[in-house]
């Protein structure tokens, strides 16, 4: 009997060992969704997505702290938070277009956001950059043009200045809204009281024209504030006229919010859903534990919100007709994901963030990865 047990163990131990090795390999690659979720059928209203079948393609690698990727007249531009450069990306290689000398990288500060606004001017369009200086966070407008394949960025004009800065919670999101205005997300700069202070630019979403003047229909006359009570909004997007934002929580809840003009989103009075149902604050559509999310970039495409997760190391999809739930893809596969954007060919591009001081960079980090979201 004992001899039979010994023989069985001799055969079972290698099988058990191989099983453990395979599981650890899969865990490291991050397919827990594939193993325990995506091998099953997707919920019916997610079955249009092909993310669980898509073969990722590396567009660029060995990037240093990439924070934003934008497209301009057939060219791809990517920035570096820490170095203050804006690069042109061509066939996986980067070449510097401009180094913004005023960028002061301290902690999580630096070159934090880019946006392009096309104009009818024959010579140039507008490029907006949000960055940290020695004395503030600010938004600066540049002229951008492309001639004979070469991009030029010049003529800097500060349009919004005096946004408080810190080594963290600097915000930095920029987006052109469907109303033709520039939207700016600012962090509370480590002082939560800023978020409820309507005389402070921090802890807000701002709406201005391309010269930095407050939009005429902002809720407070003469103020750039569009919404307030924010801790650190990272991404903004629109589904038609509906505006959505991803926001970092503190220790408990990260948020997906639908942003409406003049609304108060509650920070620092509450984090996540207000269980007291106070009418003074607008609750998030969804909340997630901070260690499972840290939602950064967000984009809308063909009926879905796609959200890049940093600590959660994943891509989250939210069906626009089912805003009370979500589905997670690529968990732990690429590490921290900073941005998700729509490429000109309609693929999704994921921008990793493993070199930002909070990740575990591997050979080739950071990367831009292309995936097909739809069949």
Correct CATH for 37-371 of 3.10.28.10, 1.10.357.10, 2.120.10.30, 3.40.50.620 = 2.120.10.30
Say what the pLDDT of residue 4 is. 56
Q: How confident is the chain (375 residues) per 10-residue block, as mean pLDDT?
A: 53 56 39 35 88 94 98 98 97 96 96 95 95 98 95 98 97 98 98 98 98 98 98 98 97 97 96 80 96 97 98 97 95 97 98 96 97 94
Lateral strand order in the sheet of 69-72: 69-72, 75-79, 85-90, 93-99
The closest of 72, 71, 61, 66 to 84, measured between CA atoms, is 66
Please state, in angstroms and rounded to a whole number, the distance separating the CA atoms of residues 359 and 339: 15
Say what the pLDDT of residue 1 is. 52
Helix (H/G/I), strand (E/B), else coil: 251: coil
- Give just the sign of the alpha carbon dihedral 109, 370, 256, 250: negative
DSSP letter at 342 equals E
Say what the pLDDT of residue 16 is. 59
- Residue 59, phi then psi, degrees to nearest 5: -90, -40
Please state, in angstroms and rounded to a whole number, the distance separating the CA atoms of residues 160 and 208: 9
Say what the pLDDT of residue 13 is. 57
The closest of 57, 91, 92, 87 to 72, measured between CA atoms, is 87
Residue 34 CB neighbour total at 10 angstroms: 16
The closest of 318, 321, 356 to 335, measured between CA atoms, is 356
Say what the pLDDT of residue 11 is. 56
How far the first Cα of the chain sits from its last, in Å, is 57
Q: Where are the domains of the chain?
A: 37-371
Question: Which single residue is written with the structure tokens 């800097």?
Answer: 156
- Residue 22, phi then psi, degrees to nearest 5: -65, -45
Give the CA radius of gyration of the chain. Answer: 22
pTM: 0.89
Could you tell me how many residues make up the chain?
375
Say what the pLDDT of residue 375 is. 82
Please state, in angstroms and rounded to a whole number, the distance separating the CA atoms of residues 55 and 18: 26
Say what the pLDDT of residue 370 is. 98
């Amino acid at each position: 009997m004992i001899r039979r047990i010994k023989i069985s163990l001799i055969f079972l131990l290698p099988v058990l060992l191989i099983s453990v090795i395979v599981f650890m390999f899969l865990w490291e690659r991050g397919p827990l969704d594939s193993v325990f979720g995506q091998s099953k059928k997707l919920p019916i209203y997610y079955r249009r997505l092909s993310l669980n079948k898509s073969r990722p393609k590396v567009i660029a690698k060995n990037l240093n702290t990439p924070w934003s990727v934008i497209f301009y007249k057939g060219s791809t531009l990517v920035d570096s938070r820490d170095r203050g450069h804006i690069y042109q990306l061509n066939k996986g290689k980067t070449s510097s277009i401009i180094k913004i000398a005023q960028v002061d990288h301290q902690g999580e500060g630096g070159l934090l956001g880019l946006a392009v606004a096309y104009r009818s001017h024959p010579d140039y369009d507008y490029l907006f950059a949000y960055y940290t200086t020695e004395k503030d966070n600010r938004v600066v407008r540049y002229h951008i043009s492309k001639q004979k394949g070469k991009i030029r960025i010049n003529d800097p004009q500060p349009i919004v200045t005096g946004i408080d800065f810190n080594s963290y919670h600097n915000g930095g999101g920029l987006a052109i809204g469907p109303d033709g205005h520039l939207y700016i997300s600012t962090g509370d700069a480590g002082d939560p009281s800023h978020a409820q202070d309507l005389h402070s630019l921090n802890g807000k979403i701002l709406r201005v024209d391309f010269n930095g003047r407050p939009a005429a229909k902002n809720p407070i006359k003469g103020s750039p504030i569009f919404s307030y009570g924010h801790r650190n909004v990272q991404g903004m997007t629109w589904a038609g006229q509906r505006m959505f934002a991803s926001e970092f929580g503190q220790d408990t809840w990260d948020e997906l919010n639908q942003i409406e003009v003049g609304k108060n989103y509650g920070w620092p009075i509450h984090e996540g859903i207000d269980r007291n149902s106070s009418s003074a604050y607008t609750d998030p559509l969804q909340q997630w534990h901070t260690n499972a999310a840290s939602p950064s970039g967000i984009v809308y495409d063909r009926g879905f919100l796609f959200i890049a997760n940093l600590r959660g190391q994943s891509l989250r999809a939210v069906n626009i007709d089912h805003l009370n739930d979500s589905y997670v893809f690529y968990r732990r596969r690429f590490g921290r994901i900073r941005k998700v954007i729509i490429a000109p060919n309609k693929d999704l591009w994921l921008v990793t963030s493993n070199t930002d001081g909070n990740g575990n960079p591997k050979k080739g980090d950071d990367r831009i990865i292309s995936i097909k979201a739809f069949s």
